[in-house]
Amino acid sequence: MRDLKPKSKIDFYLERMQRRGFTAEQVLEGTGLRIDRLDDPHGRPKPPQYRQIILNMLSLTGDPNLGICLGQEFKISDLGILGYAALSAPTLKASRELYDRYRDLNEQHVFASRNYIANGRWFSEIQDVHRLTDVLRFGIEEFVSQTIELASSLTNRPFPVLELHLTYPQPADVSRYIRRFNCPIYFNQPRNVVVFDINRLQDPISLANDEVFKLCARNCELLAAKNRDKTVLAESIRNYLMNNPGNFPTLDEMARQLKMGARTLRRRLVEEGMSYQQILDQTRQDLAVQYLKHTTLTPKEIGFLLGYSSVSNFRRAFKGWTGRTLSDMRGLEG
C-alpha cells in the first residue's frame, strides 16, 4: 500500500488537466487558491471555488462533455486506502457501504447524492446542495461516468445505468451520452436521478480478500480519526451548514451534532479565534451571494432558506454583511 491518502478532488483535476497541457495556474485562475496551501485545513476549497475551477476547465478544454471524460479517467487508485478497501471487499454492496462510511476521507464535493431503494430499483438522486446550477451538468456527467468506471473496475463486469432523469435541457449533441451511458435519458425532469440495477450490488469483487478488507477498514478508521483530530472545528461546522441548506441549528444543537458539550464547543471556537455566530453569519453570507448570482430564487425564498422569518430582516442582514443591497448583487430587485 504505497499511498494511503486519497487524492483530493483538486489534485485529481490538476493532474488530469496537466495531461491535457494546462497548468495549475490556469485551472485555479480566479479562485484565490494557492497551490502551496491546498493541503492546509484553512485553505480548503469552498463550493464557489470548485465552481470556478469547473468553469475554467470547461473553458480551457472547450469540451462541454468534460465531466464524462474525467469520470471515465477516475481510477480506484485515486481513492487511496478507500480504493484498497473497495478492491478487497466481498461484494459491490460491501464496497459501497464502506465508501459511504468513510467518504469524508475523499474530500467534500460540490454535489451530493442521496441513495434509496424503491420498487426493487436503486435510485441515486444528485442534489445541487450549493445551488451552483451552471455547473450542474458537469457534476452529473462526472458522477455517473465515475460510478460506472469504479463499479466496472471492481467487478470486471459492465455496470449498466438503467435510466437517467436530468433537470437540464437536452444538449444539441447527445452522442457522448448515448455512447457512455447507453440507457433511456429524460431531460427537463423535476429531479436529477440515476437508476441502477439493485441486483448488481451483489456482484462479487474480483480481488476480494477478507483479511485485507478488514485491515483496510481498520486503516480507514485510523485515518478518519486522525483527520478528525486535526480538522479545524470552525471548518467542520461550516461544512455541516453548507451541506444542510436551510438548517441553521442553535449552538446547543450543533454541540449535540458534534457530540460535545456547548461550553466545550464555545471554548474551542474561542481558541480558534471564532464565535458560533460569526460562522453562521459568514455561511449565510456566502450562501446568499451564491443564490443571488446563480439562481432565480426570489429574496423571500432565499431569506427562508437562510433561516430568516421575513425578507426585510434578510435584506438588513445582507446590507450589514456586505455593505450592498440585494439588487446591487443581482442587478435587479426580486
Reading the chain (334 residues) residue by residue, the pLDDT tens digits are 445 567 788 899 999 999 999 999 999 999 998 888 776 655 567 778 888 999 999 999 999 999 999 999 999 988 888 888 899 999 999 998 888 888 777 655 667 778 888 887 889 998 876 677 789 899 999 999 999 999 999 999 999 999 999 999 999 999 999 999 999 999 999 999 999 999 999 999 999 999 999 988 888 888 777 766 656 788 788 878 877 767 789 999 999 988 889 999 999 888 888 899 989 988 888 888 878 877 778 888 888 888 888 889 999 999 888 888 888 887 544 4
pLDDT of residue 332: 44
Considering the domain delimited by 9-211, tell me its CATH architecture. Answer: Alpha-Beta Complex (3.90)
**278 and 235 in contact (C-beta within 8 Å)?**
no
Angle between the N-to-C axes of helices 92-101 and 81-88, in degrees from 0 to 180, rounded to the nearest 10:
150
Main-chain dihedrals φ then ψ at residue 161, nearest 5 degrees: -95, 130
Distance (Å, whole) CA 311 – CA 322? 16
pTM of the entire structure?
Answer: 0.74
pLDDT of residue 63: 96
CATH 1.10.10.60 fits 232-330, yes or no: yes
Outline where the chain has alpha helix (H). Answer: 9-19, 24-28, 47-61, 66-73, 81-88, 92-101, 136-155, 175-181, 210-230, 233-243, 251-257, 262-271, 276-294, 299-305, 311-322, 326-330
pLDDT of residue 334: 40
Distance (Å, whole) CA 12 – CA 45? 14
pLDDT of residue 115: 82
Measured CA to CA in angstroms, residue 275 lies from 14, 98, 139, 237 at distances of 34, 34, 33, 11
pLDDT of residue 2: 45
pLDDT of residue 333: 42
Supply 68's cell numbers: 464524462
**CATH 3.90.1520 domain position(s) in the chain:** 9-211
Supply 190's cell numbers: 423535476
Name the residue among 96, 110, 177 with its Cα closest to residue 139.
110
Strands 112-118 and 121-127: antiparallel
Task: Please count the other Cβ atoms lying within 10 Å of the Cβ belonging to residue 251.
Answer: 18
pLDDT of residue 42: 55
**CATH 1.10.10.60 domain position(s) in the chain:** 232-330
Distance (Å, whole) CA 180 – CA 145? 7
Distance (Å, whole) CA 204 – CA 87? 10
Q: Which residues pair with 117 in a beta bridge?
A: 122
Q: Which residues pair with 125 in a beta bridge?
A: 114, 193
